[in-house]
Amino acid sequence: MIAIGCDHGGVNLKKEVINHLQERGFEVKDFGCNGEKCDYPDIAFAVAESVASGESDKGVLICGTGIGMSIAANKVRGIRAAVVTEPTSAGLTKEHNNTNILCMGERIIGTVLAIETLDSWLYSEFMGGRHQQRIDKIAEYEEKH
């Protein structure tokens, strides 16, 4: 399952992303928002907790820039969220950093590029090896703090 959420700055792109994911057979859990003014940390924490707990396999967060969502989501232990604006970086965040939440900004990225970016992230695989050692260091730090 893919958890998805947005604030009022990402409603339109979220709808497009949900449609795209469902057309490709993914189960999607929508954590909001639906157009009303809302605070991005509330949505980011809900999606991140769903991913961190294992309820959802991965997550997608959308706001105006993607930055606020990423900052908030990364406060949840076990989350590796990255803001991306194009497919190459999206794929590399999965391959090298094993990101479990993708963040995008509706004001920054158009729908077509957002879908290409999402697909790059979804279909990339974590490479492990030396990259796993680095993720382990992050997890160890999280456990201590």
Q: Choose the catalytic residue: 20, 63, 131, 145.
A: 63
Per DSSP, the three-state class of 58 is strand
Q: Residues 69, 103: contact at Cβ < 8 Å?
A: yes
Q: Which secondary-structure segment (H or E) carries 106?
A: none
8 part of the active site: no
Gap between the Cα atoms of 64 and 41, Å rounded = 13
Closest residue by Cα to residue 63 from 122, 114, 119: 114
Q: Choose the catalytic residue: 96, 103, 131, 145.
A: 96
63 part of the active site: yes
The catalytic residues are: 63, 96
